[in-house]
Amino acid sequence: MGPSHCVVWDMAYNKDYELELTQFEISELELGSGSHGVVYEGTLGGLPVAVKSVRNGVEKQVLLALLDELKIMIYLGKHDHIVDLKGACTQFLEQGDDGSLEAFLRKNRGNFCPDVSGCYVNVDSGRTGRATTTSNDQEFTTQNLLQWSTQIAKGMCYLEANKVIHGDLAVRNVLMKSISYIKITDFGLSRQLTNTDTYVKSHKAMLPWRHMAIEAMREFRFTSKSDVWSYGVTVWEIFTLGSTPYPGMNWTPEFLQFLEDSMRLYKPKHASDA
């Protein structure tokens, strides 16, 4: 158990988040799954929530990772562009009205309108867009792409200010509350830093290599700067309307060497030269 894990483990658990079993309902509808657990659709106080738990029979390491994620979210508190923790019995998070940004981009590529003059969009990056949800035929524009990129940057700045590394930033881990309002989610790989700016991973779990910085792949060393690399890949995903980074490639030592030899993602079609 590394020192960074101990920092998270020693963080205080706020019992105000604890829920009784009678306060919520969980459906059998699975919203998603990952290396640390499974997410089901549920309701809390009549409102839709995402319920994150672990599968039966998982290793102790997986359960500890979920507990770490819970404590990180309690520590972070509330921010406009970080998903809210609603309660804890397993985990209850607010549910995105339109799912992940990745799903929206891939499903609605045909509705992208690069010419803003031919579309209408509210570019206010504040909270005014919360009540307006998207539909399957919702047009979106370059200004929306910029808006989402800006809001993700604000959320990541908040993490850095609180000395938290996300470790898994990607469009699949961004929830859409509305066409003009997104939140960062999935803190399963996150860590809080204290007297150091670097977290060194002590075991080789499944890692999101397409979004990882060179030093993270080579030395399992994670910092806020490696989150910046992941942010760059995430913006690339946004401006390619949900394309897969490094298409056709697999994780190999050669892939890392390609990056070290200055291989980079191509400029997205919908991005400017600036």
The alpha carbon of 250 is separated from its chain's Cα centroid by a whole number of angstroms, namely 22
Any known ligand binding at 52? yes
> What structural domains and CATH numbers belong to the chain?
3-260 (1.10.510.10)
> pLDDT tens digits, residue range 67-124?
778 888 888 889 999 999 898 875 566 777 778 999 999 999 999 998 755 555 454 4
Describe the crossing of helices 224-239 and 142-161 by its angle, rounded to 10 degrees: 170
pTM of the model: 0.70
Among all residues, which ones are annotated catalytic?
Answer: 168
pLDDT at 18: 84
Average pLDDT, rounded, for the chain: 81
DSSP string across 22-89: GGEEEEEEEEEEETTEEEEEEEETTEEEEEEE--TT--HHHHHHHHHHHHHHHHH--BTTBPPEEEBT
